[in-house]
Amino acid sequence: NAGVTQTPKFRVLKTGQSMTLLCAQDMNHEYMYWYRQDPGMGLRLIHYSVGEGTTAKGEVPDGYNVSRLKKQNFLLGLESAAPSQTSVYFCASSYRGNTEAFFGQGTRLTVV
């Protein structure tokens, strides 16, 4: 089992460009999450999904969109990247919302 896989691992964007981060899990988990991690801030929840076809806003959703068309995939989109979105992005999944979460290895995004 691969667990949670994120692509890409690194990306540099210019301000105003768009991109999509892909998260895939093979554990048949219902819940999937996107977090961003910034120095001294811990992990902040961007958006999450409680099942196929559903999405919900987290703590810092502005500037991001998500989609969960298939149970195993959770996509995070940046329509118009800004330098403030420079961060490390982590995807996670869990069986339910109150069970342990499994994390991907992260995507390091730099917006210049």
Residues that bind another protein (CB under 8 A): 4, 31, 33, 35, 40-45, 48, 50, 56, 58-59, 90, 92, 94, 96-106
Q: Is 84 helix (H, G, I), strand (E, B) or coil?
A: helix
The structure tokens listed for 13 are: 């964007």
Query: CB-wise, 22 or 50, nearer to another protein?
Result: 50
Q: Minimum distance between the CB of residue 80 and another protein, rounded to whole angstroms? A: 26
Residue 108: Cβ-neighbour burial (10 angstroms; 0-12, 13-18, 19+): middle
Contacts of 33 (CB under 8 A, 6+ apart): 45, 47, 48, 49, 58, 74, 91, 92, 93, 94, 101
Least Å from the CB of residue 15 to another protein: 26
Return the number of the residue (19 or 101) whose C-beta is nearest another protein. 101
Measured distance CA(10)–CA(95) in Å, rounded: 28
The nearer residue to another protein, 72 or 108, going by C-beta atoms, is 108
Residue 67 C-beta: closest distance to another protein, Å: 17
Nearer to another protein by Cβ, of 17 and 44: the residue is 44
